[in-house]
Chain A
Amino acid sequence: MSKMHLKMTVNGAEVETLAEPRELLIHVLRERLNLTGPHIGCDTSHCGACTVDMNGKSVKACTVVAAQANGASITTIEGLGTPDALHVLQRMFREHHGLQCGFCTPGMITRAWRLLQENPNPTEEEVRFGMSGNLCRCTGYQNIVKSILAAAAEMNAVKEAAE
């Protein structure tokens, strides 16, 4: 079966690759672009381990075919911060023990990153609802919620200081 020429913006850079139309976006990212941050956990769009940002919205990359993503702008965990300049969410997840095995973490942080843009000052209940597309088997979510609330507080404090 012939491959198609995919063009996407991934983590701010224009990328091109060949892929079968049926390839799942998660496989294109992981196998062709070597972005192995997002993972595959359930295959059926329930767990959110594969969460990436597509055209400004959180999506589950296991349930998007490559052809659908042609032309899209994608952000993955790898695009959120650098080792020298971690995103505040990355720091807060560590600070508040918001992860254990780390397998859900890239999807979790990528989703939280979008959630805090949609709602910069969420309540605990709003965080729990907004994160309900991401499963974690290790943490019981309590410290994930804590990490996200702490990140929101810090981001808001920085914003206030700048204004």
Chain B
Amino acid sequence: MNDQSPTRDERIEKLKGLGASRRRVEDVRFTQGKGNYVDDIKMPGMLFGDFVRSPYAHARVVSVNKAAALALPGVVAVLTAEDLAPLGLHWMPTLAGDKQMVLADGKVLFQGQEVAFVVAKDRYTAADAVELIEVEYEDLPVVTDPFKALEPDAPVLREDLAGKTEGAHGHRRHHNHIFTWEMGDEAGTETALSEAEVVAEETVYYHRTHPCPLETCGCVASMDKVNGKLTVWGTFQAPHAVRTVASLISGIAEHNIRIISPDIGGGFGNKVGVYPGYICSIVASIVTGVPVKWVEDRMENLMSTAFARDYWMKGRISATKDGRITALDCHVTADHGAFDACADPTKFPAGFFNICTGSYDIPVAHLTVDGVYTNKAPGGVAYRCSFRVTEAAYFIERMIEVLAIKLGMDAADLRAKNFIRKDQFPYHSALGWEYDSGDYHTAWAKALEAVGYKSLRAEQAARVEAFKRGETRKLIGIGLCHFTEIVGAGPVKNCDILGLGMFDSCEIRIHPTGSAIARLGTISQGQGHATTFAQILASEIGLPADDITIEEGDTDTAPYGLGTYGSRSTPVAGAATAMAGRKIRAKAQMIAAYLLEVHDDDVEWDVDRFTVKGAPERFKTMKEIAFAAYHNAIPGLEPGLEAVSYYDPPNMTYPFGAYICVMEIDVDTGVWEIRQFYALDDCGTRINPMIIEGQVHGGVTEGLAIAMGQELAYDEIGNVKTGTLMDFFIPTAWETPHYITDFTETPSPHHPIGAKGVGESPNVGSVPAFSNAVQDAFRAFGHVHAHMPHDHWRIWTIAEGLGLHA
């Protein structure tokens, strides 16, 4: 007779499965300084690469003189475009269907562009050699403003595209134009707008910024000429995609390329793209036959790899007099920099910006996006958001505020009046999405109640009166945001990158003694996959999470997957994990039935075991079943217990949340202070509440930075003005407030465990909340809209414009 202890609850607890705030397995090595990041990798004979970069934003490269550098002892090679051209590697394809110079081919198009690649025995010698390379430039006129770039007489930036009127995403109507993307019903929207009782218009700019993970990008490329195998360790958020791209452009067979993402020191979208440093390191290793390391410094990171945002969004929103929204129109001018290197699914050149109807039931809408070349760095990555979702959320949450001002309504009431109702899900938006599930009214009411919204408004009004009486110089801003994200890209039928469908995968092997290893196509950059995917699996297969190893990031061992960005790991790879686990369980059921000598249908699953129906004292635990899978010859069944699942999601997931920020603003200095920040997230089923909370803290802090000061600023001749962490704003613990987190739980109906993903919600949701707080503080004085970032001088400028300094 089997022992009935421990109890069922004790067995559930022992698994540390779904819902447990399991401590992270990764932390054991990280807290001891034993992480293994790319710059920690050291190989015998390894050389170092370093770039000569352009000081100019637009110039012809007249000559490159390598002689002095090559004469420096320890310098092995200096590569220029001329050296790469015979290999066809002086240009490379971008993720967006454009191409990008690996090394300057005749001209440079942005400050910091890669001109030559020095390879030397160590990084000190390489840096010395960079100084010795003489490059002669001839200035060309610079365009950093996308509107000026589209003027008829604007300088031609991309001479390689001369005469090409068709691009990767359709017609190009100007030499600096990349594409026009259109969605929705133009005629219907125009009709609704012209017939509307109230129309609000505003141009909302989401400025250029950068993900700036604490670890910069880098790689070690090692060509093993004996075995013909190339191994590249690097900061890759999508190792399999990198392998395929590397194979396609280098001609090396894909099975002879091994891409390994070691520990990654934060990604936030910065490490999705393929950068010239990777290509040059690979070429240098092929040429020299020894490993070559390249790691960029912080200035190089900010100047050359993967900016985010830079969207000029011109909106019109209409409503009835009592606040019922009738239509939304948006035109975006998207500054893509010198090359279109956006990381978007192929059919979505502006990502999922068509989520810009937000949380609202808007009957008709229309959207056009124009992509434009300028003399700025390429990129356009999703900085901790799904593709262009944070731009969309910022746009609609600003438009709602602007409309509320025009209507003279409370902005919280206006939102509640227009939310998609719970009974409308699945909801088809006017711009083409099918929202899976939501309960916005419940979340909103909970948030308003939690912050004491009514009394905050009363306090704010009293403060305005005190200000007018000269008793204070500080105002209160209440920043509201209700966001809806679209994440988990995505269904292969409409989501691919370079033709690769955006499924993801999990492969599980159960060991005879009842422990397991699972490998996935994703890669953690701090999200704690090794912890949470084991939890998903623990609940599915009844083995303790502590007995399950999660492995990612090595293309020789992991199944193919599209990587980690756009909050896709939980919605896609997490689903693959659950589905693979269910395959394991299906086979386990047959084994259990055989061992218990009953029919397959006569056993049922219970936490960590199969029991005979109606006789719970007769059971086989998963541990016992695992051993039997390798031990008992079961008629008609292959030995072993393994499964693999490639999960093609039927739909995206739509996490949502309600964020509220209360800010004190000094009218004279522009100094702000966050008094309260409340974040309610609904990410569907919650896998690990501790990790979710941590993700929210971090994402909101990124949003704080972006909204309140962080920008990649350029002067008129294309110089980057914010190239170090002195000027590129990242708040310290001192400027960062204490956050209150909260949640509701509306599972995704189509995801195997109902999870929606959470990593990016706080960046998407917090930026509008911070910005709305600043702007709301001045609403009583007639202020409507000002652009981010809201650093001290720009806040001061709002007050100055309103005459508050008189």
Contacts and interface: CB of A to CB of B under 8 A. Distances in A.
A77 interface: yes
Contacts, number: 176
Contacts of B265: 39, 41, 101-103
Contacts of B298: 41-44
Interface string A82-113: 01001000110111010111111110010000
Interface string A34-45: 111111111110
B30 A99 contact: yes
B103 to A, nearest CB: 23
A141 to B, nearest CB: 4
B694 A143 contact: yes
B526 interface: yes
Contact of A135 (B39, B528, B690, B732): B732
B contact residues, range: 35 or more
B32 A128 contact: no
Given A100-B526, A102-B526, A47 B31 contact: no
Interface residues of A, number: 60
Contacts of B699: 140
Contacts of A100: 266, 526-528, 694-695, 698
Contacts of B525: 101
B37 A39 contact: yes
Contacts of B39: 30, 36, 39-40
Contacts of B282: none
Interface string A115-134: 00000000010011101111
B615 interface: no
B702 A97 contact: no
Nearest to A104: B214
Interface string B264-287: 111010000000000000000000
B33 A101 contact: no
B638 to A, nearest CB: 40
B37 A103 contact: yes
A22 interface: yes
Which has the most chain B C-beta neighbours within 10 Å: A37, A42, A78?
Answer: A42
Interface in B369-391: none
Contacts of A6: none
Contacts of B214: 39, 41, 47, 49, 101, 103-104, 135-137
- A interface, over-half SS: loop
B124 A101 contact: no
A76 B739 CA distance: 31
Interface string B28-62: 11111111010110100000000000000000000
Given A46-B724, A100-B526, A132 B734 contact: yes
Interface in B705-763: 724-726, 730, 732-734, 736, 738-739
Interface stretch (B19-27, B136-144, B507-515, B569-577): B19-27
A93 B739 contact: no
B767 interface: no
B546 to A, nearest CB: 14
Interface in A136-163: 136-145
A16 interface: no
Which has the most chain B C-beta neighbours within 10 Å: A35, A86, A132?
Answer: A132
A71 interface: no
Nearest to A109: B31
A81 interface: yes
Nearest to B297: A43
Contact of B32 (A20, A49, A78): A78
A101 B264 contact: yes
B299 interface: yes
B213 interface: yes
Contacts of A76: 33
B215 interface: yes
A28 B131 CA distance: 23
B464 to A, nearest CB: 30
Contacts of B299: 43
B691 interface: yes
A44 B726 contact: yes
B730 A137 contact: yes
Interface string B236-270: 00000000000000000000000000011110100
A138 B698 contact: yes
Given A44-B725, A141-B733, A90 B24 contact: no
B124 A137 contact: no
A6 to B, nearest CB: 15
Contacts of A86: 31-32
Contact of A138 (B37, B266, B690): B266
A94 B215 contact: no
A94 B28 contact: yes
B541 interface: no
A131 B527 contact: no
A135 B730 CA distance: 8
A145 B739 CA distance: 12
Contacts of A43: 297-299, 724
B697 interface: yes
B733 A102 contact: no
A37 B36 CA distance: 9
Contacts of A77: 32-33
Interface in A58-74: none
Given A23-B124, A44-B725, A138-B266, A37 B730 contact: no
Contact of B733 (A36, A42, A97, A131): A131
A99 B724 contact: no
B692 to A, nearest CB: 10
Contacts of A78: 32-33
A44 B526 CA distance: 24
Given A41-B298, A104-B214, 13 more contacts: A20-B124, A37-B34, A42-B298, A77-B33, A94-B27, A100-B694, A102-B26, A103-B37, A132-B732, A137-B214, A137-B268, A141-B697, A142-B739
16 contacts: A39-B39, A39-B215, A46-B726, A77-B33, A81-B32, A83-B32, A97-B23, A97-B24, A97-B691, A97-B694, A99-B31, A100-B694, A104-B214, A128-B733, A136-B733, A138-B526
Interface of A: 20, 22-23, 27, 30-31, 34-44, 46-47, 49, 76-78, 81, 83, 86, 90-91, 93-95, 97, 99-106, 109, 124, 127-129, 131-145
